[in-house]
Amino acid sequence: MAFNSSDTAAFKGVWVFCEQREGVIMSTSYQLLSEGRKLANDLGVELCGVVLGKDIKEDYLKALGGYGADKVYYCNHELLDVYTTDAYTKVICDLVEDKKPEIFLIGATNIGRDLGPRCAARLHTGLTADCTHLDVDVEKYKAFLKTTSTIDVDNTKFEDTKNLKMTRPAFGGHLMATIVCPDYRPQMSTVRPGVMQTAPYNEETAAKTVLERVDVKLDASDIHVDLVEIKKSAKKLVDLVGADVVVSVGRGISSDPKRGIEIAEELANVLGGVVGASRAVVDAGLIAADHQVGQTGKTVHAKIYVALGISGAIQHLAGMQDSECIIAVNKNGSAPIFDVATYGITGDLFKVGPMLTEAIAKYKASKA
Amino acid sequence: MKCIVCVKQVPDTSGVVAVKEDGTMDRAAMATITNHDDLAAVEAALRIKDATGCKVVVVSMGPPPAEGMLRELLAMGADEAVLVSAREFGGSDTYATSQILAAAVKKIGVEDDDIIFCGRQAIDGDTAQVGPQIAEKLHLPQVSYAAEIKVEGKTVTVKRLLEDGYMTIKVQTPCLITCVKELNTARYMSVGGIMECYQKPLEIYNYETLKDDPLIDVDTIGLKGSPTNVYKSFSPPVKGAGMMMEGADKATVEKLVSILNDKHII
Ligand SMILES: Cc1cc2nc3c(=O)[nH]c(=O)nc-3n(C[C@H](O)[C@H](O)[C@H](O)COP(=O)(O)OP(=O)(O)OC[C@H]3O[C@@H](n4cnc5c(N)ncnc54)[C@H](O)[C@@H]3O)c2cc1C
Ligand SMILES: Cc1cc2nc3c(=O)[nH]c(=O)nc-3n(C[C@H](O)[C@H](O)[C@H](O)COP(=O)(O)OP(=O)(O)OC[C@H]3O[C@@H](n4cnc5c(N)ncnc54)[C@H](O)[C@@H]3O)c2cc1C
């Protein structure tokens, strides 16, 4: 029977595309599986991980069960070792057409955002981009809105369906939109890396995962590009997304950028964290782009986020405002960063920064 | 050979952003600009024109005022412009938008040695989906996130950005490439270009022009043909004001450290 994406009743189950690079599953996949598990529970359906690659270690595949996957579809092929749009789109669309999942989540990485739209266009379904929140249950969605919007939730009508409600920032973070795809399946979404929390690894569920090897139909004539090389930047990238503590610097360091970054490094060191930056600092060439926090940088969920000399533009807030404790130092007492700060100090970062480092070092020494 | 470049006019979200009471964007109250990534795509095409003498066609879907933007692109050096505009096309999501733009590109005509360019992402909808979806509808190979492009005959070599490096990919024309704004610095309109731009052809494609293409169907275009719908939209939350510390001296930071200790934050 021909595949029909509008026959919504024929689709069942939640899928997560588990991206691998160089044979290693990316951490985004664990975040998505953890989130997918909740959706699958609310729907009472299976959660499946989908891996495309070549000779991926069985341990890695089974480990997906530890983050909630009931089943792992593994597509093994020479031509799936490294990502190409053509090969991945074909294999994924073939599998979707065969198994018919109702929800399909893909990490919004540079690869996921190439693959997702191409698959959605081929399957004739909707794709919501770069989501930061997902719900199927209306009550849970309402609870989410109560804490994150000014909508008068109790006096607003909500259509009570189990459709996936996919929430994402748009217009440069000035607006949040919840998107649905009611008439087509699968309901597809790319999910921003670093936003969903990874659940603790569960040995028991890992042991129960079913590994299904998919019979892949693919040959070289399916691929219309030649991969010449892959180059990684030589420098080790800073792991902002996984960090508990991030100390970020903004344009406030411009009078002495070298000292400013040093101050941030010292504070990050005593707190056991890493250094982040606003885009202004990155654009000025003062620090590498992988340090950038914000809408076009990384999204962090730090336990402590320190903002030194950052004004708090909405695009910066988009990447850090969900941190648990935000400490801001800015010499302008009415800088918007203070609207989201848990603790604010109006002052010069070149003076307050080192004092804070010293006070924390002293405190840590007293506890040791 | 020719280059076809898809360009979107967008509200300037770096300036004042007007949100209406119902949570939607008040586009009328905002200045419009040419999407940044798309300017890089136009520049990439113009550089190929400088080197090969090929034709550059710019195409935009949007309301009639987008014609002003297209004239500016003609003044930069593009040869022809197409404005895709019809009530039937309104309310399209990325799926429907790419159906329509793909039909428009087919109408312009894709030859063996042509390259279609898009920006990577538009700053308003922010999805980065339209480029790959047009490529799918045209059955063309795509390379997204292009940060360097080299054309030799029918072979295009693209440096495609990854989070932690890049891939170098070779692809044959016809193909579709999406450009990041770091690709280049777009040129300005030239005085001669401004004089000429009103003489250059600017065609309007409406529903009638495109309706015979199988891509154009009530189930695949406009609001009704869009698989995704906006369920709710709202302004993002502003966290409740925190605590402003008094002073900015040693006593201040020590007080802060003791609060952090009391709350088990450190
Ligand atoms: C589409 C788009 C995407 C963007 N994406 C991002 C993004 O991902 N991340 C991001 O950060 N930005 C992003 N931006 C840019 C953003 O709009 C701001 O321009 C940027 O965040 C400003 O950086 P800043 O706070 O460091 O600089 P400024 O806004 O210039 O602020 C500097 C602050 O430092 C304070 N200051 C100065 N001297 C001192 C001192 N000695 N001690 C203490 N304080 C001092 C000043 O009072 C001021 O508040 C984006 C913009 C656009 C349009
Ligand atoms: C708040 C909000 C959220 C939305 N979320 C989604 C969503 O998650 N999924 C979805 O399918 N739709 C979504 N839409 C609809 C989507 O924004 C529109 O379909 C829009 O026409 C195209 O998407 P984009 O702006 O994201 O473009 P992108 O896909 O980011 O654009 C990429 C490139 O495609 C080309 N291009 C795009 N539009 C045009 C055009 N009109 N004319 C010429 N070239 C163009 C340009 O080269 C551009 O650089 C949303 C709309 C709003 C208002």
pLDDT of residue A173: 72
Q: Domain for residue B212, yes or no?
A: yes
Beta-carbon separation of A324 and B265 below 8 A: yes
Task: Kindly identify which residue of chain B lies nearest to residue A325, measuring between CA atoms.
Answer: B265
| Position B184 pLDDT exceeds 70 | yes
Q: Domain for residue B39, yes or no?
A: yes
Listed residue (B201, B202, B205, B203) closest to B84, CA to CA? B205
CA–CA distance, A137 with B236 (Å, rounded to integer): 21
Give residue B16's pLDDT band: very low, low, confident or very high (50, 70, 90).
low
With a CB cutoff of 8 Å and minimum separation 6, the contacts of B155 are B170, B171, B172, B173
Q: Domain for residue B12, yes or no?
A: yes
Q: CB-hemisphere CA count at 13 Å for B200? A: 24
Helix, strand, coil share (%) of chain A residues, nearest 5: 40, 25, 40
Query: Whole domain around residue B60: which residue ranges?
Result: 2-225
pLDDT of residue A171: 79
CATH number for the domain that contains residue B123: 3.40.50.620
Residues of A in contact with B163 (CB under 8 A): 109-110, 237
Q: What amino acid is encoded at B242 in this protein?
A: G
Minimum-distance ligand to the CA of A328? Answer: 1
ipTM of predicted assembly, 2 dp: 0.90
Q: Which residues pair with B32 in a beta bridge?
A: B11
pLDDT of residue B182: 87
**pLDDT tens readout for residues B124-145:** 888 999 999 999 999 999 999 9
| Position B202 pLDDT exceeds 80 | yes
Listed residue (B103, B120, B117, B114) closest to B172, CA to CA? B114
Residue among B3, B8, B124, B205 whose CB has most ligand 2 atoms within 8 A, to mutate: B8
CA–CA distance, A33 with A48 (Å, rounded to integer): 8
- CB within 6 Å of ligand 1 — which residues? A 172, 250-252, 278-281, 292-297, 309-311, 313, 315-316, 319, 329-332, 335, 348-350; B 14, 123
Q: What amino acid is encoded at A164 in this protein?
A: L
| Structure token pair of residue A33 | 């599986």
Beta-carbon separation of A183 and B171 below 8 A: no
Which stretches in chain A have pLDDT values below 70? 1, 234-236
With a CB cutoff of 8 Å and minimum separation 6, the contacts of A261 are A249, A253, A275, A286, A287
pLDDT of residue B179: 97
| Structure token pair of residue B38 | 């798309």
> Which residue in this structure is represented by tokens 């009639």?
B64
User: Is the distance from CB of B134 to CB of B120 less than 8 angstroms?
Assistant: no
User: Is the distance from CB of A74 to CB of B125 less than 8 angstroms?
Assistant: no
CA–CA distance, A321 with A336 (Å, rounded to integer): 12
Q: What's the mean pLDDT in B3-7?
A: 98
pLDDT of residue B241: 63
Q: Can you list the domains of chain A with their CATH numbers? A: 8-222 (3.40.50.620), 245-367 (3.40.50.1220)
CA–CA distance, A352 with A365 (Å, rounded to integer): 20
**pLDDT tens readout for residues A315-336:** 999 899 988 899 999 999 999 9
Contact of A131 with chain B, judged by CB distance below 8 Å, is answered with: no
The radius of gyration of chain B's CA atoms, rounded to the nearest angstrom, is: 23
Q: Domain for residue B177, yes or no?
A: yes
3-class SS of residue B241 = coil
Nearest to A126 among B164, B228, B249 (CB): B228
Q: What amino acid is encoded at B139 in this protein?
A: H
CA–CA distance, B172 with B157 (Å, rounded to integer): 9
Q: Domain for residue B8, yes or no?
A: yes
pLDDT of residue B22: 61
Please give, rounded to a whole number of angstroms, the shortest distance from the CA of B156 to a CA of chain A. Answer: 10
3-class SS of residue B150 = strand
**pLDDT tens readout for residues B205-237:** 999 999 999 999 999 999 999 999 999 988 876
Sign, Cα dihedral of A73, A76, A79, A82: positive
User: Is the distance from CB of B198 to CB of B71 less than 8 angstroms?
Assistant: yes
CA–CA distance, B142 with B257 (Å, rounded to integer): 53
Give residue B24's pLDDT band: very low, low, confident or very high (50, 70, 90).
low
Listed residue (A363, A358, A283, A274) closest to A316, CA to CA? A283
Q: What amino acid is encoded at A349 in this protein?
A: L
Task: Kindly identify which residue of chain B lies nearest to residue A364, measuring between CA atoms.
Answer: B266
**d(CA B27, ligand 2 centre) in Å:** 15
Minimum-distance ligand to the CA of B135? Answer: 2
Beta-carbon separation of B230 and A347 below 8 A: no
User: Is the distance from CB of B74 to CB of B96 less than 8 angstroms?
Assistant: no
3-class SS of residue B77 = coil
Listed residue (B96, B174, B80, B171) closest to B135, CA to CA? B174
Q: Domain for residue B50, yes or no?
A: yes
CA–CA distance, A248 with A197 (Å, rounded to integer): 22
Evaluate: CB of B92 within 6 angstroms of ligand 2. yes
Task: Kindly identify which residue of chain A lies nearest to residue B12, measuring between CA atoms.
Answer: A171
The pTM of this model reads 0.84
In this structure, are strands A245-249 and A274-277 parallel, antiparallel, or unpaired?
parallel
Residue of A89, A124, A179, A222 to mutate for B, most B C-beta atoms under 10 A: A179
User: Is the distance from CB of B62 to CB of B125 less than 8 angstroms?
Assistant: no
Q: Domain for residue B29, yes or no?
A: yes
Nearest to B236 among A110, A169, A226 (CB): A169
Residues of A in contact with B157 (CB under 8 A): 228
Listed residue (A20, A212, A13, A236) closest to A112, CA to CA? A20
Please give, rounded to a whole number of angstroms, the shortest distance from the CA of B202 to a CA of chain A. Answer: 29
Residue of B155, B253, B264 to mutate for A, most A C-beta atoms under 10 A: B253
A residues 167-196 closer than 8 Å to B (CB): 169-184
Residue among B58, B83, B84, B129 whose CB has most ligand 2 atoms within 8 A, to mutate: B129
Beta-carbon separation of A180 and B231 below 8 A: yes
Q: CB atoms < 10 A from the CB of B6, how many? A: 30
Instruction: Let me know the angle formed at the C-alpha of B164 by A34 and B170, rounded to the nearest 5 degrees.
Output: 110
- Is the bond preceding A354 in cis, omega lying within 30 degrees of 0? no
Domain count, chain B: 1
- The residue contributing the CA closest to ligand 1 atom 37 is A252
Q: Domain for residue B240, yes or no?
A: no
Q: What's the mean pLDDT in B105-117?
A: 98
CA–CA distance, A35 with A135 (Å, rounded to integer): 10
Q: CB atoms < 10 A from the CB of A73, how many? A: 23
Sign, Cα dihedral of B63, B146, B130, B47: positive
